[in-house]
Structure 1
């Protein structure tokens, strides 16, 4: 009796650890399904036009946009050339957001489930793992900036903290005070994740307002004190090759928002009506990115004339806030301004990590183990890996920062092309929704042993010409040859190659059962509450794989 009780206890504990299920829901947690993976039911579609505008205020008006524009100056471009890169990159990012978010708006599914019709039920694990990997690095970078912002806040309250003795080796590129700030920021982040995605509009609006107030305050201070935009608007170009440097700048913008555009349907699936996200994606995306980057360039330029004791450009608003406090001798008024400026930066980092990383990566991890991982649990796992990624090493220099960001975009770009080609051209926006949740040959998305080789080949074609240049840039950022130039255009080249390669392969070897399904979820059964998954459950009765994993 005792021998048999151990397995029973183990199964009991495993059952308790399973993800919660809504009381009136007809879905079950199994290998392919949980609450966060099913198409969003009508009652959870809470995002209208204003909500998506707020989304882009978070995504575009952030430290990443501010620092990217400024870091282009460090790469040798003039302020005017840097802004041209940001404008072009922002417009392209907006157009890609519309295209990538279209299926979320129509079928109310996210990237995790959308990968199944392109890559196969088992093959979908590959793009999901790649995106989780890139999210870990981005989460780490954004968290590090958040930790620095908290450190600046603490330094405004306790001026001595700014000169705290460092007990960590200099080769680590992080000081003790920064680590303290990072740990406190993590403590702020944990409860933030408890808010479900469909209820985040108000926190997003508050954090965006606070961050923009910080930037406007820095703009007024720097321009008023200097009497203009500063010397950077009158400097000459120092880039070795201007044309390729500009292309590199555009690619870095696309690389920064690449995972965001690829996963737009993670958020557009919450749209409460058709076309609600479109205007924000077309207008708010490029405008917020461009305005924030422009503010960064102006503030960086003007502040360089004020903080003459600084030997390098301060292309981070957080570093700039700390330098302002030092410049004015930690006077009470300046300390108060720096505190609220740091607060705006820290809450902005909370929101940007939720928008671009936590929700998307959480859902991706849910796709790997739906019975035990949902968006919230996945976000906590992401946080653990994010701090282990040592993001401060990536941010040590501007050149390394841009190279790594562009490299991550190189991984994701072909996936974007594959998804767009499959959804718009090959399948003509028609999906058989129930088959996205059947893990056997009964699903039309099973392909060969659960894998769609067409996507794998197209992805390989889209990445093989980019990675030699990526390795060369990491070894020596001054390299300039054909491979490096291809890498400088990695996102554009990757999207184009992935799109064309997948389209061509499918033209010669068409996927099975094209044309089956519906062009919108509203034409099909509604998943979840009081609607039933009866057709899916009926289809699963003959699937031993799903029955085994549902027990």
Structure 2
């Protein structure tokens, strides 16, 4: 397929001159096909609101609160989180560019470097991680619903008989929240955009209200900010700073890959770039500050750090305040979960079986897998949830991000043959649909990043000395190691063992 058979518009966006050229391809369907220019209408506000909705969630809150619980003071925790989000913004924006320019989702973008078939490797890796997150968030949302009904119904609800280690009413709450999210995803991507537009400001107001309430109880901001760090600024702090920073980066490592799923609907590069710069670092810094102040305030008010906002909301005596606060928690969880953990795997699963799955049916599959993963077990241990879960998958996905950045910006220089992303035997077919260079780069980067995975005694599934002891020191820097190793390896293999010439505009 020649590049001349795709139309480049003055603003840099590209679309197929004749969309019918890929209509009969077994590697495409209506959701995976390039978005037509008239359908690309997301504005700066839409992207800012999307990030506000995704960032304002209970796990984001727990990240900041967890750093305070580890002994950091408000400034140390704030710097760690803000720096992490500024760092992850770089690969996120680099990979977003292709979505806006070509109107393609992440798994189709990955075909340019992994091959038309090989793209299923990084796409399914990303998808199953998203399913785990979907399950975790759904369980958290179910807990909030369980608590709200308990406030209204009393002990008949909260004291229900136990099934599988939890009250049967908790399972009902979990199922209800699952169905609610499936209904939202069934409405499609435009329904999601409208939901984010009105939900995001409400969630922001809720976190502000919780912070103000604690400030009033604590006697103002001064006593909170005066609390010293138990770590200081010496070796004790720096020992946990690096793995904590990697955890902050890894929290959004998933979105640094699949933001093309959203930027494919952008009106232009300026809109998506500004929207994301406004939305991600500022929103995460805000929620970090709100979480740090609130959690630090609970030490003064209640004598110990209460880092779970659902538990904290329950401490207030007014049932109306409790109910409103928990409803906001539910909105926050749903806003993040559907956008961050359903949209991506929906495209990823549809990419693997385009003739069998579309956006909606693949979203249902995501929901089912999210239950089968048993999220109530994933979050039963905070050490496993925050450090093992985030650090491990962060290293894996970072190596994929390294391949994409090297291929798109340094090998192809942002020029892709759009139709060939969907066709057998085209430029991106490589060897039977697979590009072994990208696969080797990803595996090698992942090995260096997580091969030394270790856990403190009794705090995780890995041996104390690391899976591969010689690589243990690298695990504290898993995301950086994976990104750099994947980038350099793919660049080197492509330069010295070339498979094709880059597309020229």
**TM-score, normalising length: structure 1:** 0.82
Aligned partner of 1:466 in structure 2 is 449
Aligned partner of 1:528 in structure 2 is none
Per-residue deviation at 1:305?
2.7
Name the larger-Rg structure: 1
The yes-or-no answer on 1:200 pairing with 2:196 is no
Residue 244 of structure 1, aligned match among 239, 249, 267: 239
Aligned partner of 2:276 in structure 1 is 281
Change (3 A) 1:241 1:476: farther
Aligned partner of 1:83 in structure 2 is 78
Give the 3-state SS of the residue equivalent to 1:486 in structure 2: helix
**1:362-386 deviation digits (Å, cap 9, x = unpaired):** 0111101111211111111111111
The yes-or-no answer on 1:214 pairing with 2:178 is no
Change (3 A) 1:35 1:417: same
Residue 350 of structure 1, aligned match among 313, 331, 334: 334
Distance 2:36 2:259 in 1: 18
Distance 1:153 1:411 in 2: 38
Unaligned runs of at least 5 residues, structure 2: 1-17
The yes-or-no answer on 1:381 pairing with 2:365 is yes
Aligned partner of 1:269 in structure 2 is 264
Change (3 A) 1:476 1:505: closer
Residue 141 of structure 1, aligned match among 114, 136, 139: 136
Per-residue deviation at 1:417?
0.6
Contact 2:129–2:393 (CA<8 Å) still a contact in 1?
A: yes
Aligned partner of 2:305 in structure 1 is 313
Distance 1:435 1:233 in 2: 60
Residue 111 of structure 2, aligned match among 116, 119, 134: 116
Residue 451 of structure 1, aligned match among 426, 430, 434: 434
Give the 3-state SS of the residue equivalent to 1:32 in structure 2: coil
Contact 2:184–2:192 (CA<8 Å) still a contact in 1?
A: no
The yes-or-no answer on 1:501 pairing with 2:486 is no
Contact 2:91–2:405 (CA<8 Å) still a contact in 1?
A: no
Distance 1:450 1:163 in 2: 54
Aligned length: 478
Contact 1:97–1:281 (CA<8 Å) still a contact in 2?
A: no
Give the 3-state SS of the residue equivalent to 2:452 in structure 1: helix
**1:388-411 deviation digits (Å, cap 9, x = unpaired):** 212222222332112212211111
Aligned partner of 1:428 in structure 2 is 413
List aligned pairs for 1:24-423, cutoff 5 A: 26=20, 28=23, 30-160=25-155, 163-168=158-163, 170=165, 174-229=166-221, 234-238=227-231, 241-308=236-303, 313-322=305-314, 324-325=315-316, 328=317, 334-402=318-386, 403-423=388-408
Per-residue deviation at 1:515?
2.3
Distance 2:501 2:407 in 1: 13
Contact 1:67–1:293 (CA<8 Å) still a contact in 2?
A: no
Contact 1:45–1:198 (CA<8 Å) still a contact in 2?
A: no
Contact 1:93–1:285 (CA<8 Å) still a contact in 2?
A: no
Contact 2:452–2:473 (CA<8 Å) still a contact in 1?
A: yes
Distance 1:101 1:420 in 2: 10
Change (3 A) 1:37 1:92: same
Distance 1:31 1:483 in 2: 42
**TM-score, normalising length: structure 2:** 0.89
Distance 2:356 2:335 in 1: 25
Contact 2:192–2:339 (CA<8 Å) still a contact in 1?
A: no
The alignment's C-alpha RMSD in Å is 2.3
Per-residue deviation at 1:199?
4.2
Q: Which moved more, 1:251-260 or 1:207-216?
A: 207-216
**1:29-48 deviation digits (Å, cap 9, x = unpaired):** 65311011011012321201
Distance 2:192 2:179 in 1: 19
Per-residue deviation at 1:142?
1.2
Contact 1:361–1:378 (CA<8 Å) still a contact in 2?
A: yes
**1:169-217 deviation digits (Å, cap 9, x = unpaired):** 55xxx55443232112112112111222134333112221222222111
**1:43-76 deviation digits (Å, cap 9, x = unpaired):** 3212011111111111222222211111122334
Give the 3-state SS of the residue equivalent to 2:306 in structure 1: coil
Aligned partner of 1:10 in structure 2 is none
Per-residue deviation at 1:245?
0.9
Distance 2:472 2:145 in 1: 38
Aligned partner of 2:12 in structure 1 is none
Per-residue deviation at 1:484?
4.0
Distance 1:491 1:429 in 2: 24
Contact 2:31–2:347 (CA<8 Å) still a contact in 1?
A: yes
Aligned partner of 2:6 in structure 1 is none
Contact 1:470–1:487 (CA<8 Å) still a contact in 2?
A: yes
Per-residue deviation at 1:432?
0.8
**1:8-42 deviation digits (Å, cap 9, x = unpaired):** xxxxxxxxxxxxxxxx9845365311011011012
Per-residue deviation at 1:449?
1.9
